[in-house]
Structure 1
Amino acid sequence: MNDPRPLYERAAEQFAGLVKTVTPDRLDAPTPCPEFDVRALLSHVVGGTHRIALVGGGGDGLSVPAHADGIADDGWSAAYDVARSRFAEAWADDAKLARPVTVPWGAETPGAAAVGGYVMETLAHTWDLSQALGHPLPLEQELAEIILPLAREVLPVEPRGGPVPFGAVQEAPEGSDAYTQLAAWLGRAV
């Protein structure tokens, strides 16, 4: 993936659309990620977006928490818009895609691979949020169809757990859409 930024922009726009449907009474709802309710999931995605923006700006992403604190119940949409604007600014220079960066999980990788990883992260959490909210919007299947083969390539079946933050691969039901297949590959019970 030479330039994953357009995919990231599409994925972030889709996630932003879902965030706009979140009402304060849904923030405590469970998600397919056992460690996250909707509020914690939004906090994780906003914080992670700030982290990848910091990486694009030359930082290592470890100095920014993996979550966002202090967001008002009705402020998640605005908080995510700020984070994704920061991402776009940090990664605007094409040369950054070829430069090695240190990603929050400690590896050194080309910038394009780091952004590609966050496309996968955003799509996975889009599925999580959509599930938690009862599917208020249709998901753009093409995005998951593009990322699914990449996920299978970069995240092998073993090892999982421990330092690899994904559970064991789950079986996706026959005929599942690309998002459900991606979620199963990333260890979500589908």
Structure 2
Amino acid sequence: MTETSIADLLKAATAHAVPVVRAIPDDRLTAPTPCAEYDVKALVNHLIQVIVQFQALAAKRDADFSTSPDYVAEGPAWRDRFAEEAGRLVGAWAAPGADEGTTGAMDMPARTVGCMALLDLTVHAWDLARATGQDYEPAPESSGVVAALRESVAGLGPTARKMGVFGEPQAVPEGASELERLLAETGRDPRWTP
């Protein structure tokens, strides 16, 4: 069985993230999110920064996370900017060889790095949907997005927890969806509400 490309996974996740970001009302930008350190505006800025910097990583260039631009403050076009940058992210990872070899200053396997972008795009879209009262429908199971992320989180989890990127895994009720299980594995409460 052929492994789904990072570009195809990102394309599927983007199709579900862009509508969430487009529907964020301005009056919810200061609302809390499941990421305690971010309100909605800060999380949008973080997510745009991630998708911009992971384009560089796809091209085997180092990313620069030393600054966090305030994309939202640039004006109402930030929603379009998110959609455009997400499309560029998909294109960057579709380039020949993008998901092969290693990339980034940590010299990690490119596929693992691509899954990190996929994780942010998926989980933070859920965070933003929750924070702004929207429903979030993940990419369908047939896309392989959540399955790829659960596999990635299983490998990255211990290091990510030591670095404070993930919280401790949360319990999920019997019959929890694959998305709920993924969220819990990153330390989120899948039933979180503002």
CA offsets, 1:30-88, max 9 Å, x none? Answer: 11110111111111110000110011223111x24463314346333112123223323
- Is it true that 1:23 corresponds to 2:25 in the alignment? yes
Within 1, Cα distance between the matches of 2:159 and 2:58? 28
Q: Does 1:122 align with 2:121?
A: yes
Higher relative contact order (CA 8 A, sep 6+): 2
After superposition, what is the alpha-carbon deviation per residue over 1:84-111, rounded to whole angstroms, capped at 9, x for unaligned?
2332343332222213101xxx521232
> Identity across aligned pairs (percent)?
24
Q: Which residue of 2 aligns with 1:185?
A: 185
> Structure 1 residues 109, 155: closer, same or farther in 2, change over 3 A?
closer
**Stretches of 4+ moved more than 3 A in 1?**
64-68, 136-141, 158-162
Separation of aligned partners in 2, 1:54 and 1:163: 23
- Deviation readout 1:108-161 (Å, 9 max, x if unpaired): 1232221122112211112211211223453335255423531443134x4554
C-alpha distance in 1, partners of 2:71/2:176?
37
1:66/1:154 Cα in 2 relative to 1: closer, same or farther (>3 Å)? farther
Q: Quick check: 2:16–2:137 contact (8 Å CA) kept in 1?
A: no
Q: Match for residue 82 of structure 2?
A: 80
The match for 2:151 is 150
Q: Aligned-pair RMSD on alpha carbons?
A: 2.3
Contact 2:9 2:145 in 1 (8 A): no
Give the TM-score of the pair, scaled to structure 1: 0.84
Q: TM (normalized to structure 2)?
A: 0.83
Structure 1 stretch displaced more, 89-98 or 35-44: 89-98
Aligned mates of 1:57, 1:149 — CA distance in 2: 25
Query: Against the structure 1 CA distance between its residues 7 and 144, is the aligned structure 2 distance closer, same or farther, given a 3 Å change threshold?
Result: closer
Aligned length: 185
Q: Is the 8 A contact 1:48 1:67 kept in 2?
A: no
1:33 pairs with 2:39: no
Give the gaps of 5 or more residues in structure 1. none
Amino acid in the other structure paired with 2:170: Q
Question: What is the identity, as a one-letter code, of the residue corresponding to 1:165?
Answer: V
Match runs of 1:1-190 below 5 Å: 1=3, 3-61=5-63, 63-65=64-66, 67-72=68-73, 74-102=76-104, 106-142=105-141, 145-156=146-157, 158=158, 161-190=161-190
CA distance in 1: counterparts of 2:185 and 2:67, whole angstroms: 22
